[in-house]
Structure 1
Amino acid sequence: MKKAGRGMQYTKEIKGDRASVKIYCDSFNERIRIDGYSGNLDEVNEMINKAAQEAAAEKVIIKSQREHLHYFIENGYELEAYINGYFHGSDAYFLAKFLTVKRKMSTGWEKSNRILTEVQKLKPEDKYPLYSYSLQRADIDHAERLAGLYKRVFPVYPVPLQDAKYVRKSIESGTIFLFVEKSGEIISAASAEIDKCLRSAELTDCATLPAFRGGGLMKQLLNGLEEELVKQEFYCAYTIARSLSFGMNAAFRQLGYRYGGRLVNNCYIYDKMEDMNIWWKDLSAL
């Protein structure tokens, strides 16, 4: 079922006596995500529990450091995925606590497993010719047309990409958008959301109009984003892809990304709540 309306999404930092927590509050996807924490872990856990209750969240996600895995597992969290080198070269572990039974129950797990099995049989490829098309980097003047592309491709998306104001704000904050156009129309686009402190980047917002799929456009865009990230000295790249999309998972597999796990009922995308696969790549090896 499609998600109606658009809930609030924002980041806030909570400071306690002996700890602090950086929380991404996401009422649209009925979750909170802990993007950073420091200090006393018992106080960190208390602040997270209070924030989850206040937000009426169905799922809590923590990006945990390796040395804190046991603590969070002892406090009700489950390991879902990992990203190699996310924290300045150290691994990040995605831990989840499910606050409702429904949120924990995946309806597409078996199909996702079958897709993953087929994807893992694919071999990495070297080059992806783009025929006569060329990549362009977006600026704020392209926000309206990018939003139009996302509106046509995604009836529902975890963040409001169909809103030109949101796209413009993302570009202004440093997100790198690359796109391909034909006859003045943007037909494919993707972005890299960068974290300058951690030197890591999420490749995301991948969209291609149906008539132009299957021609290698997305792989070329992702390659272009990788090249830009390496120039800017970002060494960890990852993506969170729909587990039910053979094409997107195949694209990252063929680009040399490694599977890091699956986030159950992670967000509303396309037309329903879906599981998402994590893929990661060490750009320092390029």
Structure 2
Amino acid sequence: MYTTFYKNEKILQPNFTAEVCFDYYNERIRVDDYRGNVNLLSNWLDEIVSQNKFQKIIIKCRHDDLSQWLEKGFINEGEFTGFFNGASAVSMCKYFSNERRNSNYWIEEDKIINDVLKLPQGSISSLIPNEYTLRMADEQDAKELADLYNQVFEVYPTPMDDPEYVLKMIRSGTLFCVVTYKQKIISAASADVNAVYHNAEITDCATLKEHRKFGLMKHLINRLEKELFNRKIYCSYSIARALSFGMNAVFHQKGYVFKGRLANNCKIFDKYEDMNIWVKDLSKNI
């Protein structure tokens, strides 16, 4: 099922190489790594867009290449500090439709982020209630995790409601942390680890509605951060729905720094949504 969502390919051309995700579900191309001639890579990407229905290209570029991507019509939407083994990645984006470029919620999201940034930062103050258990997940949890994501998200940018997809993620090195209630998973989050560049994305954050009043997500992220720190992975980042006060507040209060906003980045719930970038250096602040 999930193979129809996206396809990852290593592109080998005479003048450049690139790690490319063809994200059909979200109608975008994402370049997570590249080397070589920026001009020819950009031309190649434009040609791929013209042959398909992609509406957006996202490039994680080095600072040294920033001006070259600007010259090719890309815009700077944010920064993943420390992404490349300590060196920052800049999120450069190019749009191919006005509808995809323009956000209807930008001003509302500005107000949300301004209110979030006024909140105090600090350690977790509340304890998990006795009837809840926090633990790392394993392969046996794949089906229950998929059931959780199916209940929480009507639409999601990756097929997290597919047990086979979740199992593949676990086997490929993605860390899942869960909270259980009466032996059932009611909250979860994951850390998608990049072993080459020593970074991890905190993602797939979900809690059943009736259990959201206990601040479980902070505990999940806290545990994932400790796992990453023990593996010498210091760049922890996340992209959170810009319209979600709660999730943005969680990352701010956990010491993450707001680094930009990706317009109409991916499908969540019933529409394309803007996503806020949050980054934390675990070597300084865990």
How far 1:96 moved relative to its partner? 0.6
Secondary structure of 1:213's match? helix
How far 1:255 moved relative to its partner? 0.2
8 A contact 1:27–1:55 mirrored in 2: no
Aligned to 1:42: 39
How far 1:52 moved relative to its partner? 2.3
* Count of residues paired in the alignment: 282
Query: Which structure 1 segments of 5+ residues have no match?
Result: none
**What is the TM-score with the length of structure 2 in the denominator?**
0.96
CA distances 1:9-54 after superposition (whole Å, capped 9, x unpaired): 1111111112111111111000010111101222222222222223
8 A contact 1:23–1:33 mirrored in 2: yes
CA distances 1:171-229 after superposition (whole Å, capped 9, x unpaired): 00000000011112111000000000100000000000001112110000000000000
Secondary structure of 2:186's match? strand
Instruction: Decide which moves more: 105-114 or 145-154.
Output: 105-114
- For 2:14 and 2:154, how far apart are their aligned partners in 1? 44
Aligned to 1:27: 24
- For 2:3 and 2:107, how far apart are their aligned partners in 1? 30
Instruction: Find 1:70's aligned residue among 67, 70, 77.
Output: 67
Aligned to 2:266: 267
Report the AA paired with residue 187 of structure 1. Answer: I
- For 1:43 and 1:260, how far apart are their aligned partners in 2? 29
Secondary structure of 2:201's match? strand
Aligned to 1:168: 167
8 A contact 2:5–2:158 mirrored in 1: no
Asked if residue 277 in structure 1 is aligned to residue 273 in structure 2, the reply is no
Identity %: 42
Aligned to 1:104: 101
Aligned to 2:220: 221
**What is the TM-score with the length of structure 1 in the denominator?**
0.96
8 A contact 1:79–1:94 mirrored in 2: yes
Aligned to 2:150: 151
- For 2:235 and 2:3, how far apart are their aligned partners in 1? 31
Asked if residue 126 in structure 1 is aligned to residue 85 in structure 2, the reply is no
Report the AA paired with residue 114 of structure 2. Answer: T
Aligned to 1:136: 135
Cα distance, 1:6–1:264 mapped onto 2, change above 3 Å: farther
8 A contact 1:140–1:171 mirrored in 2: yes
How far 1:80 moved relative to its partner? 0.4
